[in-house]
Amino acid sequence: MGIAHEMAKKQREISVAEFFEKNRHILGFDSLTKSLVVSVKEAVDNALDACEEARILPEIYVEIQQVGKDEYRMIVEDNGPGIVRKNIPLVFGKLLYGSRFHAMRQSRGQQGIGISAVVLYGQLSSGKPARIISKIKEDEVAYEVLLTINTKKNEPKIIKEEPIIWDREQGTRVEVVMRARYTRGKQSVYEYLQQTAIVNPHAQITFVEPDGKKTVFKRVTQELPPPVREIKPHPHGIELGEFINMARSTKTYRLTSFLTTEFSRVSPKIAEKICKLAYLYGDMRPQELSLSEAKRILDAFSKVKLMAPPTDCLSPIGETLIKKGLKNVLGSLRPGFYAQPITREPKVYGGNPFIVEAGMVYGGELPKDQPVRILRFANRVPLLYQQGADVITKAISNIDWRRYGLEQRGGEGIPVGPAVILVHVASTRVPFTSEAKEAIAEVPEIREEIELALKALGRQLKMYRVKKERKKKLSEKFFIVSKILPEIARKSAEIVEKPVPRLEPVISKIMNVIWIDEEITGRDGYVDIRVRIANFTEKPQKFTLYADYPLGNIVETDGSIEDDYIKWEIVIDPVSYQYHSFTLSEASGYTETNYYIDGINPSKVIGAEPLPGDWRIKIDFVESIDEESEDVEENEEYTEDEVIDDEQ
């Protein structure tokens, strides 16, 4: 908010145009490419906020048209509630108009400088007015407004305003022509929208590029994020300028009531204590506070003990939706692994509640020899610039990813590998490094939360890799014992002219696991699944096997049918095979059954997981039972201690 006040103050002295020119880089308009991204961002953020406030599932349409060399038209349209006619010029034609200032809540618009700055940039760079169409539900017609900003007075100048017929029920469309450059790839409009789609899975975003290429980021959930609650500022998080502004504009008459009504967690008793510590009378008028008096109050704030601010005003994306969003947007790269995303508990820094979320995908067609891709978000808005300065990047660089299976020179810096790491910081006030709001500042509390979330992801990655590695090694051995070894036995027996030796003892020595796999055949929606259990250990084994079929209805099986799974009690001799089966109907497209086991050490079993209730057992799964410790590449011990140590 600092920029707002600075700008408001300066408006009196210089024209906004002059101010804009002088501060282009602060506002984000420092290159032709970036100007376009920043403009789209402002418009799309506004559109999403408007829809969500009105509890409407957002449908956003973005189009970029080339109108000349280095001149483009940006079109952003939403299905939000629309803007009442008389407010249109104010929203688009006056810098810093809006309802957000002083509002302590998690919102996108907290960032950036508002859509009017885009209008101003378009007008200054192309000389053309902005075109706005907006329609509210109650009205029969939409209003089309062409406007510019009177840069001397910071007032909208309406060029044309007329009612038109618009075939939408409601919504707003903005068109601004500006000097710009269109690119794809890193830090582009495309990337911005793609990332926006990841963290806004409830929005449908359509994008048409200058060459006519159309991309639709589909909506994957019908659930709107819960409405964000506004909270009053907490005394520990307030800045002097803000405080003075609040004091000037308050409607209260006494300092104590100002403190109790406009701040959170300030009781009358505490208000009196604050006044006492600041050597001020509780019944003085807050509007009359001098600068030094205000400073004394702020000083007193820091001396009193206060409850932390409420944290239920935050709306995280949630673990399920992060995963859905990642799948929706990155699914075409076929990553082999989606970590279960982490949403940490809300925490507080300097009087401001915040929450950290993180997700990760790995493998597939992601490049193996490049630094991992980092997706940074603040209040559901992608951060594309200043990656190096961001606390998220610092937290990632600070973790030794080698222990989790990514390459990283010297155990610090951005790791290399086929991975995407997503971190979202939501807060009523995200601390940015600068007014450009492009990177989150290094706040120890936030950094710690990010690191904990990342480590939790890292552990999952490690688990996945260990498991995959083991499965690979074992399928190689499976090939040896089922194909090569019998051949060796046959051939050597033939040469020495003796009977073929029994292979069971050798097989159990090489494998020493129970192997479970399946064969799926079927047609017309009917699917037959044949389950093979191979006991490659030296001993007879006894356990319970569960088959959890993701789709279809059970028709027939040799196991017992429980609620929504099938159960077998298995007793199997050493080095022998056993087969079971089940048939499903209405199961076309069936790919895979989830098998679970119980009553046996899961580290001995390949192809089935321990029953979810036995989660703890899963940890000793990682202790390699493979007797060939020499070919375990990573020698790091992965113990239960490590799994729990950095949890709190």
Partner 1 sequence: MSSDEALKKLYEIAEDIYEQLARGEIPKMQLAARHKGNIVFDNSLGVWKYGNSKITRSAKKLDGGYMILRTLYIMEFIKEMIKNNKSSTLREMYYISEGWGLAKFHSQDESNKLAEDLEVITGYMREDFKLRPEEDGASIIGNITIEEINRKGKPMRINCRDDVGDSGYLIPYNVEKDKLRFIDVDADFVIGIETGGMFDRLVENGFDEKARAILVHIKGQPARSTRRLLKRMNEELGLPVVIFTDGDPWSFRIFASIAYGAIKTAHISEYLATPTAEFVGITASDILNYDLPTDKLNDRDIAALEAELKDPRFNTPFWHEEIRLMLDIKKKAEQQALAKYGLDYVTETYLPEKLTELGVMR
Regarding 26 and contact with partner 1 (CB under 8 A), the answer is no
Q: Which of 152, 213, 471, 491 is close enough to bind partner 1 by CB under 8 A?
A: 491
Fill in the per-residue mask, 507 to 526: x = in contact with partner 1 (CB under 8 A), - = not in contact: --xx----------------
Could you give the 3-state DSSP secondary structure of residue 302? helix
Q: Which of 487, 524, 563, 647 is close enough to bind partner 1 by CB under 8 A?
A: 487
Report the DSSP beta bridge partners of residue 106: none
Regarding 303 and contact with partner 1 (CB under 8 A), the answer is no
State the minimum distance, in angstroms, from the CB of residue 518 to partner 1. 24
Residues 6 or more apart whose CB falls under 8 angstroms from that of 281 comprise 255, 275
State the minimum distance, in angstroms, from the CB of residue 507 to partner 1. 9
Question: Rounded to whole angstroms, how far apart are CA atoms 276 and 270?
Answer: 10
Could you give the 3-state DSSP secondary structure of residue 390? coil
Report the DSSP beta bridge partners of residue 419: 362
Asked whether 176 and 39 are in contact (CB, 8 A), the reply is yes
| Range list of β-strands (E), 69-170 | 71-78, 130-135, 142-150, 155-164
* Smaller CB separation from partner 1, 422 or 534: 534
State the minimum distance, in angstroms, from the CB of residue 604 to partner 1. 18
* Smaller CB separation from partner 1, 218 or 483: 483
Task: Show the tokens assigned to 536.
Answer: 């490659």
Regarding 477 and contact with partner 1 (CB under 8 A), the answer is yes
Regarding 496 and contact with partner 1 (CB under 8 A), the answer is yes
State the minimum distance, in angstroms, from the CB of residue 538 to partner 1. 10
Residues 6 or more apart whose CB falls under 8 angstroms from that of 464 comprise 336, 337, 339, 362
Regarding 483 and contact with partner 1 (CB under 8 A), the answer is yes
Q: Of the listed pieces 82-90, 118-126, 268-276, 505-513, which binds partner 1 according to CB under 8 A?
A: 505-513
What residues numbered 609-628 form the site for partner 1, per CB under 8 A? 628
Could you give the 3-state DSSP secondary structure of residue 647? coil
* Smaller CB separation from partner 1, 68 or 505: 505
State the minimum distance, in angstroms, from the CB of residue 216 to partner 1. 46
Task: Show the tokens assigned to 17.
Answer: 């145009």
Q: Of the listed pieces 36-44, 343-351, 476-484, 579-587, which binds partner 1 according to CB under 8 A?
A: 476-484
State the minimum distance, in angstroms, from the CB of residue 513 to partner 1. 14
State the minimum distance, in angstroms, from the CB of residue 633 to partner 1. 14
Asked whether 435 and 2 are in contact (CB, 8 A), the reply is yes
Helix (H) or strand (E) holding 36: helix 32-53
* Smaller CB separation from partner 1, 482 or 588: 482
Q: Which of 237, 199, 210 is nearest to 75 (CA)?
A: 210
Regarding 501 and contact with partner 1 (CB under 8 A), the answer is yes
Q: What is the DSSP code string of 346-363?
A: PEEETTEEEEEEEEEEE-
Sheet strands side by side (includes 155-164): 155-164, 142-150, 130-135, 171-179, 71-78, 59-68, 204-208, 214-217
Regarding 304 and contact with partner 1 (CB under 8 A), the answer is no
* Smaller CB separation from partner 1, 240 or 484: 484
**Taking the chain, what is the end-to-end CA distance rounded to the nearest angstrom?**
34
Asked whether 130 and 144 are in contact (CB, 8 A), the reply is no
How many residues contact partner 1, by CB under 8 A?
24
* Smaller CB separation from partner 1, 508 or 541: 508
Kind of pairing between the strands at 381-383 and 419-427:
unpaired
Maximum separation of any 2 CA atoms in the chain, in Å: 111
Regarding 492 and contact with partner 1 (CB under 8 A), the answer is yes
* Smaller CB separation from partner 1, 35 or 508: 508
Regarding 472 and contact with partner 1 (CB under 8 A), the answer is no
Regarding 489 and contact with partner 1 (CB under 8 A), the answer is yes
Helices (H), 365-519: 391-398, 444-479, 485-496, 504-510
Q: Which of 493, 561, 625, 644 is close enough to bind partner 1 by CB under 8 A?
A: 493
Q: Which long-range contacts (CB under 8 A, 24 or more apart) does 331-334 make?
A: 333/361, 333/364, 333/365, 333/366, 334/363, 334/364, 334/365
Q: Which of 146, 480, 617, 619 is close enough to bind partner 1 by CB under 8 A?
A: 480
* Smaller CB separation from partner 1, 185 or 499: 499
Fill in the per-residue mask, 420 to 459: x = in contact with partner 1 (CB under 8 A), - = not in contact: ----------------------------------------
Question: Rounded to whole angstroms, how far apart are CA atoms 613 and 484?
Answer: 39
Distances (CA, A) of 326 to 39, 197, 332, 401: 25, 9, 10, 21
Question: Rounded to whole angstroms, how far apart are CA atoms 638 and 591?
Answer: 32
Q: Which of 506, 617, 632, 643 is close enough to bind partner 1 by CB under 8 A?
A: 506
Query: How many residues are present in the chain?
Result: 648
Q: Of the listed pieces 91-99, 178-186, 506-514, 541-549, which binds partner 1 according to CB under 8 A?
A: 506-514
Asked whether 385 and 34 are in contact (CB, 8 A), the reply is yes
Question: Rounded to whole angstroms, how far apart are CA atoms 447 and 244?
Answer: 30
Regarding 633 and contact with partner 1 (CB under 8 A), the answer is no
Task: Show the tokens assigned to 6.
Answer: 């600075």
Rounded CA Rg of the chain? 31
* Smaller CB separation from partner 1, 340 or 576: 576
State the minimum distance, in angstroms, from the CB of residue 488 to partner 1. 5
State the minimum distance, in angstroms, from the CB of residue 630 to partner 1. 11
Q: Of the listed pieces 173-181, 352-360, 441-449, 474-482, which binds partner 1 according to CB under 8 A?
A: 474-482
* Smaller CB separation from partner 1, 493 or 625: 493
Q: Which of 226, 367, 505, 612 is close enough to bind partner 1 by CB under 8 A?
A: 505
Asked whether 399 and 458 are in contact (CB, 8 A), the reply is yes
* Smaller CB separation from partner 1, 267 or 492: 492
Regarding 488 and contact with partner 1 (CB under 8 A), the answer is yes
Q: Which of 13, 140, 345, 476 is close enough to bind partner 1 by CB under 8 A?
A: 476
Q: Which of 485, 617, 632, 643 is close enough to bind partner 1 by CB under 8 A?
A: 485
* Smaller CB separation from partner 1, 87 or 492: 492
Q: Which of 229, 3, 240, 263 is nearest to 110 (CA)?
A: 3
* Smaller CB separation from partner 1, 284 or 480: 480
Asked whether 317 and 359 are in contact (CB, 8 A), the reply is no
Task: Show the tokens assigned to 327.
Answer: 């799948």
Q: Of the listed pieces 310-318, 376-384, 417-425, 480-488, which binds partner 1 according to CB under 8 A?
A: 480-488
Regarding 414 and contact with partner 1 (CB under 8 A), the answer is no
State the minimum distance, in angstroms, from the CB of residue 369 to partner 1. 21
Residues making contact with partner 1 (CB under 8 A): 476-477, 479-480, 483-485, 487-489, 491-493, 495-496, 498, 501-503, 505-506, 509-510, 628
